[in-house]
Amino acid sequence: MQVTVVPHAGEITGISGKTAVVIDVLRATSTMVTAFANGATAVMPFFTPEEAKQYYGWHNNKLLLCGERKGVKITGFHLGNSPLEYTGDVVAGKTLLMTTTNGTKAIKRSETAGTILIGSALNAPAVADQLLRLHEDVVLVCAGTRERFSLDDFAVAGLILCLLRERVKLAMDDRARAACLLAESREMRELLLMSNHGQYLVELGFTEDIEYCAQVGKINLVPYFDGKMITI
Residues in the site for ligand 3SL, rule: CB under 6 A? 24, 26-28, 68, 71, 81, 100-103, 143, 201
Residue 101 interaction partner, one of ligand 3SL, Mg ion, none, beta carbon < 5-8 Å per kind: ligand 3SL
Sheet with strand 224-225: strands edge to edge? 72-73, 63-69, 95-99, 42-45, 230-231, 224-225, 115-119, 19-23, 138-142, 2-6, 171-172
Nearest residue to ligand 3SL, scored by beta-carbon proximity: 100
Instruction: Give phi and psi for 40, each to the nearest 5.
Output: -60, 145
From candidates 26, 63, 98, 160, binder to Mg ion by CB under 5 A: 26
The conformation of residue 79, written as its DSSP 8-state character, comes to: B
**Using the rule CB under 5 A, is 126 a contact of Mg ion?**
no
Beta-sheet pairing, 138-142 with 2-6: parallel
CB of 4 to ligand 3SL, least distance (A): 22
CA angle 155, 161, 162 (to 5 degrees): 90
**Using the rule CB under 5 A, is 24 a contact of Mg ion?**
yes
Q: Between 99 and 118, how does the x/- string for binding to Mg ion read (CB under 5 A)?
A: ---x----------------
Residue 140 interaction partner, one of Mg ion, ligand 3SL, none, beta carbon < 5-8 Å per kind: none
